[in-house]
Structure 1
Amino acid sequence: MEEETATEIKPDEPGSESAEEYLHRTSFERSLTGVYIVWLRDFKRFWRDTPRRLGLFVQPLVYLFLLGTGLQAAFKVFGAGDTKYVTFMFPGILGMTILFTSVFSAISILWDRQFGFLKEILVSPVPRPSVAVGKVVGGATQAVLQGTVLLVLMFFPNIFGLHWSTLWKALALIPLMVLLALAMTSVGVAIGARLKSFEAFPVLMNFILLPLFFLSGAMFPLQGLPGWMDILTKLNPLSYGVDMLRAVALKGVTLTSTTSIMSKLPSGVVTKLQQNPDVVAALQKVFPKMPTVKTQIYPLWLDVLVVAAFGVVMLVIAIWQFSRQE
C-alpha cells in the first residue's frame, strides 16, 4: 500500500497562513491585510501596463511645453513680468496629473466586476471598508508616482532651474501631492463603485473632471473672473489643491513686471509715442494699474484643510458604496 505524502509547510514560510489563522487575527490586522492585498494587486497591474504609464506622462508634457510656450506672450501682458508661463503653469500640470491618474485608476473596479474578482473579494473575510481603502491607496500611489516623476522637470533651466531651493520645493510638494491624490482617488472610487458599465465611466469622468480641471486655476490665474465663475472656482476642491501646490512651488517667485511697458515696444513706436505727451501720460496712468498675477489665492492652511476635509468626505462615501455592494 502506497503511503500518501504531503508537502510540509513551515509556519514561518510565506503563504503558510490558513484561513482559520487569518480569522483568528484581530479586526484591525485583517483590515490592514485586506488593504495591502488590494493595493498590491492594483499597483502591479499599473506597473505592468507600460502604454498606460507612458500616456499619463506624455500628456502633461504636451500641456506644459506647447501651451507654456504658446501662451507666454499673453501671460506677460497680463502682468506677470518676465516670469515664464511654464513656471506658473507647472503646479497646475502637476495637479492635473494627480487628478487624472487618481480618478481613472478607479476603472480597475469595473474590470474586477467584469471578471468576477470583485465578487470574490467581497464575499471573502476581508472587511469591505478595507477593499475601498485599498483601492484609494492604490490609485493614490500611482498618482504620486507619476507626480514624482514629473517633479524632475522642475530642475530644467526654463522652469525653476538647478538650485537647492528647487530641491527643497520638490521635497515639500510630495506630502501635498499625497494628500491631493488620496482625495481625488476617493472621488473616482466612490463613482466607480456605483457604475456598472465601462461605457459610462469615461463619459461621466470627463463630465466631472474637465470642469474640475479648467476651474482650478491650473491654466490661468484666478483673477478678474466673472462673478459666477469666481463662485465656481471657490466651490471647486481642486482649486485649493492647485493653490497649495503653487504656493510651495512658486515660493519666492514674484510675478510682477519689473520693466515698463515702454521698454517692450519697438524703438520706432516709442519714438512716435514720445512725440505725443498726452498718449505717454495716458499709458503711464493705465499700465501701472494692470493686475499682477498672484502666486497664492488662499492661505496654505486653508488649502490643506479644504482638501483634507473633501478627501475624508469622499472616502466615507466610497466606503459606504462598497458596503452596499451585492
Structure 2
Amino acid sequence: MTTLTLTTTPVELTAEPQRNLIRDIRIVMNRELKPVLRDPFSLLFGMIQPLVFLALFGPLLSGSMGATFGDGVWQWFVPSILVMTTLFGTSTTGANLLFEFQTGAHERMLVTPLSRSSLLVGRALKEMVPLFGQAVIVIAVMTPFAFDLHLGGAVVGLALLAVFGIGLGALSYALAIAVRKQDWMFWVVQQTFLFPLMILSGMLLPLETGPGWMKVAAKFNPLSYVVDAERTLFSGDVWSSAALWGWVAAIVTAVLGLTVGIRAMLRSAA
C-alpha cells in the first residue's frame, strides 16, 4: 500500500493596493475632459453669454450707477461675471449624469474601484477647467477697458471659485440622481433656485438700494459671500474679512455638496 504525500508551497499574498483619492480624481477628470478636448468649440460657445453681459449690461451699469462704484464699474462687474459663469456651469453638471443614466455609463462607473467621492470631485473639477479658460479670456478682454488686474488676488479668487464649484456641482449631481426617473424635474428645480440666488447675491445689481427684506435674505445666501469675496480678491485685498467669509461659504458649500452627493450616489448603487 502506497501513501500519497502532497507538499504545499506557501503562496505569498500581496496586499490589495490602497486607493489613492488624488489618482482617482485625475482619472475621472481626464475621462470627462476628453469630449471637451475633442470639441473645443464648446469652450468658445460658452464665452457668448459672459461677453454679452459684459458688452450690454456693463455699459448700463456704468451709465446709471457709475458714481456708486468707487473703483469703477468693471472692477465691480467682472468678478460678478466670473461667479455667474461658475454658477451656470457647475449647476448644470447634473444634466450630464442624466444622460449617463440613459446610456448605462453611470452604472459601469459604479462597478469600478474608483472612490465615490472621486466620481463627484473629478466631474466637478472637469467643469472648472473650461471655466478657468473662459475666465482667462474675460480678464484678457477687459484689461484694456480700465479693469485693473491684481494677479495674486485673481489666482486666489479662481481657487475659491473651484472650491465653491465642487460643492455646487456635487449638489447638481445629487439632484440628478434624485429625479433620474423624471429628468424634466432637474431643470425645474435648477431654474427655480438659480435666479433667486443670483438676484439675492448682488451679482448683477447692488443690494444697498434694495428693500430691507432683500438685504436680510442676502445674509442667508452663501452666494452673496462668494460674490463679495471675489470683488475683494480681484481688487488685490486677499486678507480682508470679506475674502475670509467667502472662503467659509465656499468650504461649507463643498462639504455639504460632497456629503449629500456621495450619499445619493451610494443609494443609487444599492
TM range, smaller chain: 0.7 to 0.9
Give 3-state SS (helix, strand or coil) of 1:71's partner.
helix
Give the corresponding residue for 2:200: 215
Question: Given the alignment of the two structures, is residue 309 of structure 1 paired with residue 230 of structure 2, yes or no?
Answer: no
TM-score by length of 2: 0.82
1:195 maps to 179
Q: Which residue of 1 aligns with 2:31?
A: 41
Task: Please give the alpha-carbon distance, in whole angstroms, between the structure 1 residues aligned to 2:125 and 2:31.
Answer: 11
Query: Where do 5+ consecutive residues of structure 1 fail to align?
Result: 1-20, 253-295
Paired with 2:72 and 2:53, the residues of 1 have a C-alpha distance of: 14
Counterpart AA for 2:169: T
Deviations 1:37-78 (A, max 9, x none): 22111112233344432232110111112111123221135x
2:92 aligned with 1:107: no
1:300 maps to 243
Structure 1 ranges of 4+ moved more than 4 A: none
Q: Equivalents in 1 of 2:179, 2:136: separation in Å?
A: 30
1:74 pairs with 2:64? yes
1:180 aligns with 2:123: no
- Of the three residues 119, 136, 149, the one matched with 1:148 is 136
Per the TM alignment, residue 308 of structure 1 is displaced from its structure 2 partner at its CA by 0.9
Q: One-letter code of the match for 1:312?
A: V
Larger radius of gyration: 1
Match among 109, 125, 129 for residue 121 of structure 1: 109
* Match in the other structure for 2:6: none
Distance 2:41 2:197 in 1: 25
Separation in 1, partners of 2:154, 2:62: 24
Aligned to 1:262: none
CA distance in 2, matches of 1:58, 1:96: 13
**How big is each residue's C-alpha offset from its partner over 1:259-278, in whole Å with a ceiling of 9 and x where there is no partner?**
xxxxxxxxxxxxxxxxxxxx
- 1:105 and 1:215, CA in 2 relative to 1: closer, same or farther beyond 3 A? same
Identical-pair percentage: 26
Q: CA RMSD in A?
A: 2.5
TM-score between the two structures when normalised by the length of structure 1:
0.69
- Give the aligned residue type for 1:115: T
| Matched position secondary structure for 1:156 | helix
Q: For residues 1-326 of structure 1, what are the structure 2 equivalents within 5 Å?
A: 24-26=16-18, 28-29=19-20, 31-76=21-66, 79-80=68-69, 84-160=72-148, 166-196=150-180, 197-251=182-236, 299-326=242-269
Unaligned runs of 5+ residues in structure 2 are 1-13
Distance 1:172 1:132, change over 3 A: closer
